[in-house]
Amino acid sequence: MIVQTSAIVIHSLRYGESDLIVSLLTKTSGLRSYLLKGILKSKRGKIRASLFQPLTLLEIEANHKDKGTLERIKEAKILIPYQSLHTDFVKSSLVFFLSEILKNTIREEEVNEELFHYLETTFLWLDSHDNIGNFHISFLIKLTQYLGFYPDVSDMSLSVFNMQDGCFQDDTSNIYCVEGNSVLIFKEFLGTTFEESMSIKMSRIVRNEILNMLLVYFELHLHGFKKPKSLSILNEIFN
């Protein structure tokens, strides 16, 4: 079946000397993997390897056989060009971190247009803003809404966050309960916009604590989730 859809590049992997295998989150068909034969050696082909940088927004025409095998892309072009996402050092480091997160969290072929719209909107926001120190924290928290484990905020006045159950409570009940200043700051992110969340003040230590807490939270609620290898680089940059 020939489909035309917008898509977000999640991951690309070199295959052999000249081929690429790319994972795209498509708006109409969910997560799909494609084999791009000879793309790394072709200089005149319609599809260029540079199109498949992480998080690039594309418009593609593809042949979906829906047999669980690698699909084929017939045509691809930039949907909305980024101005700074792949050229600014801080933003490009964020891009690799976010693409690793998405590679570990989006695994189903189910269509999720709300998730697609969230990712498209937030990447364009990141591309056009400079005050982005809290972006990765806000991004991860809001991402949980689309993955089905956003924290229960009905008892947000309580001081302990139970990561295992995703709720707030008044005392610790397991090893995955956290409290203290990092939880107080974490609460400030819940229900805020990206613009508002960038104004939240915190120390380097607290930012790292919240980020590590969120990654544990993802591990608890997503089978097979692993902390991104780019985490150490991200910590160095935002420190």
Q: 165, 188, 185, 186: which is closest to 176 by C-alpha?
A: 165
* C-alpha–C-alpha distance, residues 201 and 197, integer Å: 9
Residues 50 and 110 in one domain: no
Q: What is the mean pLDDT of residues 128-146?
A: 95
Residues 131 and 182 in one domain: yes
- Tell me the sheet residues that pair with 22: 12, 34
- Which residues lie below 8 Å from residue 184, measured CB to CB, with a gap of 6+? none
Confirm whether 93 is domain-assigned: yes
Residues 94 and 150 in one domain: yes
Confirm whether 165 is domain-assigned: yes
H/E element, 183: helix 181-189
pLDDT at 223 over 70: yes
Residues 95 and 181 in one domain: yes
**Residue 231 belongs to domain with CATH number:** 1.20.1440.120
Q: Which domain holds residue 112?
A: 89-238
pLDDT at 93 over 80: yes
Structurally, the chain folds into a number of domains equal to 2
Residues 93 and 45 in one domain: no
pLDDT at 66 over 70: yes
Residues 58 and 145 in one domain: no
Q: What is the model's pLDDT at position 14?
A: 92
Query: In this predicted model, what pLDDT tens digit does every residue of 163-213 receive, in sequence order?
Result: 999 999 999 999 999 999 999 999 999 989 999 999 999 998 999 999 999
Kindly report the backbone phi and psi dihedral angles of residue 94, in degrees, each rounded to the nearest multiple of 5, phi listed first.
-65, -40
Q: What is the mean pLDDT of residues 106-119?
A: 90
Q: What is the model's pLDDT at position 239?
A: 64
